[in-house]
Structure 1
Amino acid sequence: MEWLGDHLWAAWLVLAVALGVAEMVSLDLILIMVAVGAAVGALAAIASLPLALQVLLAAGSSTAMLALVRPNLVAKLHQGPDLVTGTKKLLGQQGVVTEELTAHHPGRVKLGGEVWSACPYDESTTIATGVTVEVFAIRGATAYVHPVGELMP
């Protein structure tokens, strides 16, 4: 028991390592925050602070890590680019008209290397062959497009 009193820093360090290893299994980012508190306790023990102060510093730093660091870390881990698949991926892309488009006669548009049936988004517009268009909507297998650079007639 006398050894433990002289080497309390080692006990804190073992606790920190054990909590770090346990975090690898849980992946909740809770045990690692408590492990940081145990590391602070180890530093306090190295500085020969009383045991009560070591415990208070360890508990305070663990609480601070859980309250201040963990929420931001979890938010960063959960954010990321949205995965856009299917026809939604075509929205906003530009293509070239390969067959004239009118509201009453759907034509063809080449989008991303594929040929799609297409209609003008604005039913009063006729879009000639060779015009660059942007996809505004996809309904079924038909792309609704508008000429690039012409937002208002």
Structure 2
Amino acid sequence: MNLTDWLGDHGWALWLSLALLLAVAEVVSLDLVLIMLAVGALAAAGTAAIAPDLWVLQILVGAGVSAGMLIFLRPSVLAKVRATPGYRSSTDKMVGSSGMATTQIDRGSGEIKVDGQTWSARTYASDVIIEQGTEIEVYEIDGPIAVVYPKYGEIA
């Protein structure tokens, strides 16, 4: 018997493998989505162990548990994580970071690169223009836009 035949006869092993892969991927993303999907895959693995020939039921159980976890559990877990003393989101951590203006930046538009990521940007004051290639520092994050100023007072 080869591996594909064995896996076909033991669907729980496929679900368990999927759960493990999703859990490992969650360690990289830390977004609490993949771990919820992993729990759904574990539920499907349990269903496969009890009812190995009912693939539709396994899929429904896995999808249902995953959806329930994402809808009901994830928001409360995220709220608790964000309420933890000392928690700073990745955008909060960006405040004070240095980067480079990849286009001219004014009060209306511009673009920067910080830590290898490209962000839309605007200046902190309406009368400031930052030329392309100028080193900048992030003053604050306003939604998807970084509010910046020239790092060494290089105002055009």
Taking structure 2 as the reference length, the TM-score comes to 0.50
Counterpart in 2 of 1:12? 15
SS of 2:71's equivalent in the other structure is helix
| Equivalent residue pairs, number | 83
> How far does the alpha carbon of each residue in 1:134-153 deviate from its partner, in whole angstroms, 9 at most, with x for none?
xxxxxxxxxxxxxxxxxxxx
> How far does the alpha carbon of each residue in 1:59-87 deviate from its partner, in whole angstroms, 9 at most, with x for none?
0000000000000000000003489xxxx
AA partner of residue 26 (structure 1) = S
> How far does the alpha carbon of each residue in 1:25-67 deviate from its partner, in whole angstroms, 9 at most, with x for none?
0000000000000000000000025001000000000000000
Alignment of 1:2-41 (within 5 A): 2-41=5-44
Where in structure 2 are there 5+ consecutive unaligned residues? 88-156
Q: 1:54 aligns with which of 34, 41, 58?
A: 58
Where in structure 1 are there 5+ consecutive unaligned residues? 84-153
Alignment of 1:70-89 (within 5 A): 70-81=74-85
1-side partners of 2:39 and 2:57: how far apart?
A: 16
Shift of 1:6: 1.2
Identity %: 51
2-side partners of 1:27 and 1:81: how far apart?
A: 18
Alignment of 1:103-142 (within 5 A): none
Q: CA RMSD in A?
A: 1.7
Rg larger in 1 or in 2? 1
1-side partners of 2:45 and 2:9: how far apart?
A: 12
Q: Which runs of at least 4 in structure 1 moved beyond 6 Å after TM superposition? A: none
